């Protein structure tokens, strides 16, 4: 059996009502669940490069790498990362992070080369994933839906995808609070 071609995947958690963060980009609602044994580990083993927006990056800096009042932690990713931002952001010593802006297509080509046959992970946010979708580069949407509602916030994917619709590939429950939904993105979905 031939190995499958690398994919560009948007893997994220979402509230039941479709938000990845509160209006002020807080993830406390998600962190209350801790590690519930989701499919993240197996997913990350297949990742060769990743991309994130500036809000995700600054959240990681504030809450993980340089948390106020706590010991700093190392950059959490061992693969090359691209951070899309229109503003200057602080760097992280020892992290393989490249800052990018503008069209995602040339950056995607560099990510594919760096990934060396592994998958590309669009970490977040939803608008960045939407830009990859708009460019016809997003292959799969993996959403871990959590049993909370936020009422408002940062949308999962602020795009209309109706014709053709996403194709459900699998639904896997994890404990009493999560379900992982995997959707294939048909070409022409944007």
pLDDT tens-place string over residues 27-53: 889 888 876 557 888 999 999 999 999
pLDDT of the residue at 119: 98
- pLDDT tens-place string over residues 134-159: 999 999 999 999 999 999 999 999 99
Q: Where are the domains of the chain?
A: 8-18+40-178
**Cα separation of the two ends of the chain:** 31
What's the topology of domain 8-18+40-178?
Dihydrofolate Reductase, subunit A (3.40.430)
3: confidence class by pLDDT, cuts 50, 70, 90: low
pTM of the model: 0.93
DSSP single-letter state for residue 166: P
Phi, psi for 23 (deg, rounded to 5)? -55, -30
Residue 118 has pLDDT above 60, yes or no: yes
| Burial (0-12, 13-18, 19+ Cβ within 10 Å), 35 | exposed
For residue 140, CA distances in Å to 111, 129, 168, 184, 187 come to 16, 10, 10, 5, 11
Residue 9 has pLDDT above 60, yes or no: yes
List the helix and strand counts (H, then E) for the chain. 5, 10
pLDDT of the residue at 1: 46
Burial readout 143-153 (b: 16 or more C-beta within 10 A, e: otherwise): bbbbeeebeeb
- pLDDT tens-place string over residues 48-106: 999 999 999 999 999 889 888 888 889 999 999 999 999 999 999 899 999 999 999 99
């Amino acid at each position: 059996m031939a190995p499958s071609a690398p994919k560009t995947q948007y893997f994220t958690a979402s509230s039941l009502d479709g938000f990845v963060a509160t209006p002020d980009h807080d993830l406390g609602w998600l962190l209350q669940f801790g590690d519930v044994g989701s499919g993240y580990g197996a997913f990350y083993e297949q990742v060769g490069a990743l991309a994130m927006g500036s809000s995700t990056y600054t959240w990681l800096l504030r809450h993980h790498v340089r948390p106020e009042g706590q010991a700093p932690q190392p950059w959490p990713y061992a693969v090359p990362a691209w951070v899309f931002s229109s503003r200057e952001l602080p760097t992280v010593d020892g992290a393989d992070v490249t800052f990018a802006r503008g069209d995602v297509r040339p950056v995607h080509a560099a990510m594919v080369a760096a990934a060396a046959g592994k998958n590309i992970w669009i970490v977040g946010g939803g608008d960045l994933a939407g830009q990859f979708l708009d460019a016809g580069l997003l292959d799969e949407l993996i959403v871990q839906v959590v049993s909370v509602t936020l009422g408002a916030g940062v949308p999962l994917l602020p795009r209309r995808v109706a014709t053709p619709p996403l194709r459900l590939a699998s639904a896997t429950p994890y404990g009493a609070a999560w379900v992982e939904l995997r959707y294939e993105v048909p070409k022409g979905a944007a």
